[in-house]
A and B are shown apart, each in its own frame.
Chain A
Amino acid sequence: MKARALLAIALLAFAGIPALGTGEGFERATRIRAFTFPSDHAAHPGYRTEWWYYTGIVSSGKREFGYELTFFRVALAPSLRARASHWATRDVLFAHFAVTDVSAKRFFYDQRVGRPVLGLAGYSADKLDVFIGPDGSAGQWSVRQSGEAMRLRASANGHEIDLTLRAKRPPVLNGRDGLSQKGPGAGNANYYYSVPRLVTRGSLSVQGKRYSVSGMTWMDHEWGTSELAPNQKGWDWFSLRLSDGSDLMLYSLRDARSRPTPYSSGTIVRSDGTTLSLSQKDFSIRANGHWKSPRTGGLYPSGWTLMAPKEKLRLSVTPLLKDQELVTAGTTGVSYWEGAVRAEGSHAGRSVSGEGYVELTGYAGGAPGKALPGR
């Protein structure tokens, strides 16, 4: 998914690490590959960028929470020239962690940067194992394969998750059999799959108070060596699980005049597991209202109507909390909105409800790739 490639590269830029030129020397997603799981959950260090995105909605009794835990891996160079220092590294890891306390109307987030050396942070190319912070430390953030399940852990300032995720359905390959074209030219693409329904159990703490929770998580995993198109201002991205058993992923890439570009796309997974790819002309996203950030002054859309006439889909999407903005000036300088949402509407003639996450970028300040540090 291109939007997140942008975010990953923007993160790098703001951490003071530039996106690297042409990507020469890295592997490229040029043809359809055979995905195998769980081994493809692991890292693919031959490619320049890679990310693991987890967004979920969980509850404990009547208390409802949303959470986000994201890891980015970005390579600085195709290979590490012979260097004596163990601190020398070809990759950097970034992570964002957010919790939405829906009932209390509170939103919390934090971020980490990790150097995958000396056990201080790391990733594995053999199995799902990405972490920032050494083993045994209370501050470690990690995503790890644990038998059939995945285990997510993160904590910051009294907010904490320790969740076990089990897939209810096999991963869904996005784009053309998992090859997601990002722009003109061969290899300007990523491998991209989603696991829309991961049954989630574990504990979640908010301000030091611990809750036993259960719910559902959406996972995205993508890797590649694609490049940025110059004329992109930001994106609106949706991931929704509907009550009829179908799942929806949509994103609209906006150009400088806030119009959707042709690279916008989506995937619908029907309850029987069949998928349908949507191109830009197959769907529309209309904002119903706006929310102005008191911190960044950014004016974000807030509440949408999604329509995909081919699928007879019409959804009204509402944020569970208006303010779910991540201002990461402290480390990365990017500000974006990533929040839990609820959906109501109809699908194939039946009324449905749904839940999921929305990500909005490029509303606070200029395009992320062009903004300067120290903003």
Chain B
Amino acid sequence: MLLARLASWISLRHFSGQFGRAAVSILGVALGVAVFVAIRLASGSAVTSFRESVSSLAGDANLQVSGRSQGLDERKIARLLAVPGVRRADPKIEAIATVSGKPGESVLVVGLDLFSDLRVQSALRAAARYGPADVLPMVTRRDAIAVSEPFAKRNGWKTGQTVWLSDAGRKLPFVIQMLLPEQGLLRAYGGDVAVMDIAAAQESFGQIGRVTGIDVVADEGRTFNRVRLEASRLFPGAEVARPASRGDQVESMIASFRLNLVALALVALFVGAFLIFNSVSLSVIQRRQEIGMARCIGVSRTQIALLFLGEALVCGVVGAFVGLGLGVGLSRLALGSVSATVSTMYAAVKTTQVFVDTPTLVWGLALGVVAALVSGLVPALEAASTRPGLAAREGSLIQGRRARLLWVSSGAVVSGLLAWRLALWSLEARDGLAGFASAGLVLVASSLAAPIVTVGLAWLARWPARKAGGIEGALAAGWIVQSLERTAVVIAALAAAVTMLIALNMMVGSFRRTVVVWMDQTIRADLFIEPASRLVTHVYSELPAGVVNTIRTMPGVRSWDTLRVNSVVIDGKQADLYAFDLRKMADNSRLLFLDGANTHQRVREALSRDEVLVSETFSNRFGKKRGDLLELATPTGMHRFRIAGVFYDYTTEAGLIVIHRPLYSRLWKDERVDTAAVYVKPGFTAESVRTELLRRIGGRYDIVVLPNRALKARALTIFDRTFAITNALKVVAVVIAVMGVITTMSTLILQRRRELGVMRAVGASRGQLARMAVMESGLIGIFGTVLGMACGPVLAMVLIQVINKLFFGWTIIPLLEAKWFFEAAVWVVAASLLAGLLPARFASRMQAAEAVRDES
């Protein structure tokens, strides 16, 4: 009861005046929570979509054999069925095709045994309107498909209509025989599914003699593991797993991607917490007199502390709830981008809806509230320490300021040292959380350093400020130090934002530059040819043999090579396998080896002993070095390969194994290719060869021919898309910080009415007051920026050398570009100056008499 009345007296009375400040605090928390929630929901939804897709497709199957790129020998299905404990073994052909004339539209085509597959049977029964005559062509024709109703509707398709689908560079006509309701297997791939007979699917998608997967219903219990072993033995090199575990695998693969984004979201929240700290601190200072009076009439310290904590809590709760709503909305926007990133990096997925999960909401709420409470704690305790007495002056200087400054500054040093130790330790122990803790400590250290840095910078700024700004400048610099309790908080918040801005710019920028340099050195071919579908589905698919044959006989081609992409599983983790002709690669291009070795030399070694080369990411992820042995499951059994060298690579964080094409073809029994690279003869231009190539093959196949520059540009587009969310976060942090400056400055000016009134009274002009306000604000901006600029590169190094190493394993060459610092400085200082304008107008309008009278 008492607390409620106190709240109405101390807190609510001021509420109207502080509305703006409260709103900004709330918004700060809301944005932090929103970004956190949006990232978790979007990446979680991609995983959920994948899981649902897998389970819709799997039906009753409890074991899936998937053939990776090489497929599964159809003749062995009978043998799998003979394994004791196997009840069913349903073969399938899966292909992701693009839809001609519908840019961006893709469909999962599933070929199944229409006679005996129970999934198809139930799908057909669900479509009651069709009679036997509608079903017959499905088994007798090559081109008959049944399409999910919503998908057909979206594309305006009707039964009987011919549609063109492209897969692996081939454009094929299909007749829509039936529309099936979206249930069971038709819910896979976001519901964009076409079903056909397995025979027709094999013929349409070039899979004669093989199937892409087998869904097994096996007895649970004793025999299950034997079935699993037998399946692995029958289909060496295939993935044999429970359907659910495929989702787990995607989830674990996406985990580091997600964790990093979440960590960045936490930085946004960190900045938001500063705003609350700032806001509550200001209320404490503003109401010092009332607190003193309350203490006089017997209000306890705890009650005072609770009162201000309550204020922080209200901001936190309201902000968190607003953030949840905002986050759910934002996640919808992020969905496409996250989905594309996941498809590029891991597995084809179509995410069409946001799956809102309770843990994420609870976490978001808890984060917002905890951040608010923690940031409100210090000012609340500060308020509680107020001695009883009417004499307590509003905004009075706190006793023992020097001691406190010393304490806070030592805290900064300790945090900095701790960050350093943690960074080293986390690298040693390969502990990612310690890496994040280290990054967090850098931010804490920078915040704690804010007061001492402010004092130092203000001292340094006295002369320049006086020179440039006259008496107003000197006053402004002096005032910032006098009001250190208030200004240091804003400066710290700004510094945190600038630190993050510069660190992220530096990390992403260095990374991008490293990739560009690497691409220039290793991507040398003039033209790249691949199926057009990859642009839509983000997954590799085969190049028709006809295209390769055309390339072989093209005039103007000096040399050409092909790439086949497959995958392998080592210790339960998936890595990519690239097969190309190492000799041709060595002649035309090169790999950059970690030990600086010559490409020709390493390739010679690898060729002479049937060895493989691995990427740096692979080496980090699997703990393998040059000379180590790798044991890989191939369709011809287990084979051991020595690692001939480790090279820099930025194509996939999953890790890459490069194998000589003839060796791959022999062991994997796979002759197909995914992309082709062409080196143009002197005297020809890439463009002329490209035009001729397209003329010869363009009509028959759905392929794209990318010039070297376009391929690099696309790689960078993918790169930029991966970091799009990071960029958004940078902006959010800066916006939050700038809002903090605006509200703080307004409040501080309001508080100084009396002082300003006195200044007016002793002859200060309106212009002088306004200039002073703008300069104060500008100096705050400059101080925050300077501190942030100092800490930014430190944080960047933690991100590049610790977090990236632990989670992704890439080598990023750290770069400093003046542009990033300049950009941060311009943004923040300009924003701070602008932030000062409003208070400046206010200050300049002040009537001396009124201001002085008001305070008496």
Residues of A within 8 A of B (CB): 12-13, 15-20, 76-77, 83-89, 92, 112-115, 118-120, 133-139, 330-331, 333, 372-374
Cα A374 to Cα B78 with chains together (Å) = 30
Interface with A: B10-18, B202-210, B520-528, B544-552, which one?
B202-210
Mostly, the A contact residues are loop
Q: Mind listing 26 A-B residue pairs with CB under 8 Å? A: A12-B132, A16-B135, A16-B138, A17-B132, A17-B136, A17-B139, A19-B132, A20-B136, A76-B139, A85-B200, A86-B199, A87-B74, A87-B113, A87-B198, A113-B115, A114-B115, A115-B116, A118-B77, A118-B78, A119-B75, A134-B77, A134-B78, A134-B79, A135-B78, A139-B81, A331-B121
List chain A residues, Cβ under 8 A from B132: 12-13, 16-19
Shortest C-beta distance, A150 to chain B (Å), equals 23
List chain B residues, Cβ under 8 A from A113: 115-116
Cα A89 to Cα B139 with chains together (Å) = 8
Interface with A: B33-41, B82-90, B310-318, which one?
B82-90
Cα A85 to Cα B74 with chains together (Å) = 11
Tell whether, in the assembled complex, residue B200 and residue A77 are in contact, meaning their CB atoms are under 8 Å apart: no
Tell whether, in the assembled complex, residue A17 and residue B135 are in contact, meaning their CB atoms are under 8 Å apart: yes
Q: Contacts A17-B136, A118-B78 hold; do A372 and B128 have CB atoms under 8 A apart?
A: yes
Cα A137 to Cα B126 with chains together (Å) = 31
List chain A residues, Cβ under 8 A from B116: 112-115
Q: Name the residue of chain B whose CB is nearest to the CB of A19.
A: B132
Tell whether, in the assembled complex, residue A84 and residue B140 are in contact, meaning their CB atoms are under 8 Å apart: no
Residues of B within 8 A of A (CB): 74-75, 77-79, 81-82, 84, 86-87, 113-116, 118, 121, 124-126, 128, 131-133, 135-136, 138-140, 142, 197-200, 202-203, 208-209
Q: Contacts A17-B132, A76-B139, A76-B140 hold; do A87 and B78 have CB atoms under 8 A apart?
A: no
Q: Name the residue of chain B whose CB is nearest to the CB of A117.
A: B199
List chain A residues, Cβ under 8 A from B131: 18, 372
Cα A104 to Cα B115 with chains together (Å) = 35
Tell whether, in the assembled complex, residue A83 and residue B203 are in contact, meaning their CB atoms are under 8 Å apart: yes
List chain B residues, Cβ under 8 A from A16: 114, 121, 124, 132, 135, 138
Q: Name the residue of chain A whose CB is nearest to the CB of B211.
A: A87
Tell whether, in the assembled complex, residue B74 and residue A118 are in contact, meaning their CB atoms are under 8 Å apart: yes
18 additional contacts (CB under 8 A) given A16-B114, A17-B115, A83-B203: A84-B208, A85-B200, A85-B208, A86-B199, A86-B208, A86-B209, A92-B115, A112-B116, A113-B116, A119-B78, A120-B81, A136-B82, A137-B86, A139-B87, A372-B128, A373-B124, A373-B125, A373-B128
Most buried by A among B74, B84, B116, B121: B116
Shortest C-beta distance, B204 to chain A (Å), equals 9
List chain B residues, Cβ under 8 A from A118: 74-75, 77-78
Cα A153 to Cα B98 with chains together (Å) = 47
Shortest C-beta distance, A159 to chain B (Å), equals 15
List chain A residues, Cβ under 8 A from B115: 15, 17, 92, 113-115
List chain B residues, Cβ under 8 A from A114: 115-116
Cα A85 to Cα B141 with chains together (Å) = 12
List chain A residues, Cβ under 8 A from B136: 17-18, 20, 76
List chain A residues, Cβ under 8 A from B203: 83-85, 88
Give 3 nearest A-B pairs by CB, closest first: A18-B132, A134-B78, A136-B82
Shortest C-beta distance, A201 to chain B (Å), equals 26
Shortest C-beta distance, A257 to chain B (Å), equals 26
Cα A89 to Cα B579 with chains together (Å) = 36
Cα A260 to Cα B132 with chains together (Å) = 28
Tell whether, in the assembled complex, residue B74 and residue A86 are in contact, meaning their CB atoms are under 8 Å apart: yes
List chain A residues, Cβ under 8 A from B140: 76-77
Cα A84 to Cα B142 with chains together (Å) = 10
Q: Name the residue of chain A whose CB is nearest to the CB of B111.
A: A87
Cα A308 to Cα B313 with chains together (Å) = 97
Cα A89 to Cα B114 with chains together (Å) = 12
Shortest C-beta distance, B203 to chain A (Å), equals 5
Most buried by B among A16, A137, A372: A16
Tell whether, in the assembled complex, residue B200 and residue A374 are in contact, meaning their CB atoms are under 8 Å apart: no
Cα A43 to Cα B409 with chains together (Å) = 95
List chain B residues, Cβ under 8 A from A88: 199, 203
Tell whether, in the assembled complex, residue A120 and residue B78 are in contact, meaning their CB atoms are under 8 Å apart: yes
Shortest C-beta distance, B680 to chain A (Å), equals 36
Tell whether, in the assembled complex, residue A18 and residue B135 are in contact, meaning their CB atoms are under 8 Å apart: yes
Q: Name the residue of chain A whose CB is nearest to the CB of B126.
A: A374
List chain A residues, Cβ under 8 A from B138: 16
Cα A374 to Cα B129 with chains together (Å) = 10
List chain B residues, Cβ under 8 A from A20: 136
Q: Contacts A87-B199, A118-B78 hold; do A18 and B84 have CB atoms under 8 A apart?
A: no
List chain A residues, Cβ under 8 A from B75: 118-119
List chain B residues, Cβ under 8 A from A134: 77-79, 81-82
List chain A residues, Cβ under 8 A from B78: 118-120, 134-135, 137
Cα A18 to Cα B138 with chains together (Å) = 11
Q: Name the residue of chain A whose CB is nearest to the CB of B113.
A: A115
Q: Contacts A77-B140, A120-B78, A134-B81 hold; do A18 and B124 have CB atoms under 8 A apart?
A: no
Shortest C-beta distance, A370 to chain B (Å), equals 10
Cα A374 to Cα B135 with chains together (Å) = 14
Shortest C-beta distance, B676 to chain A (Å), equals 25
Tell whether, in the assembled complex, residue B81 and residue A85 are in contact, meaning their CB atoms are under 8 Å apart: no
List chain B residues, Cβ under 8 A from A112: 116
List chain A residues, Cβ under 8 A from B198: 85, 87
List chain B residues, Cβ under 8 A from A84: 202-203, 208
Cα A16 to Cα B117 with chains together (Å) = 12
Most buried by B among A83, A85, A92: A85
Tell whether, in the assembled complex, residue B199 and residue A83 are in contact, meaning their CB atoms are under 8 Å apart: yes
Shortest C-beta distance, A318 to chain B (Å), equals 36
Q: Name the residue of chain B whose CB is nearest to the CB of A329.
A: B125
Shortest C-beta distance, A340 to chain B (Å), equals 28
Cα A12 to Cα B133 with chains together (Å) = 11
Cα A92 to Cα B198 with chains together (Å) = 14
Cα A217 to Cα B209 with chains together (Å) = 41
Cα A88 to Cα B141 with chains together (Å) = 10
Cα A89 to Cα B635 with chains together (Å) = 28
Cα A77 to Cα B202 with chains together (Å) = 20
Q: Name the residue of chain B whose CB is nearest to the CB of A115.
A: B115
Cα A137 to Cα B125 with chains together (Å) = 29
Cα A134 to Cα B76 with chains together (Å) = 10
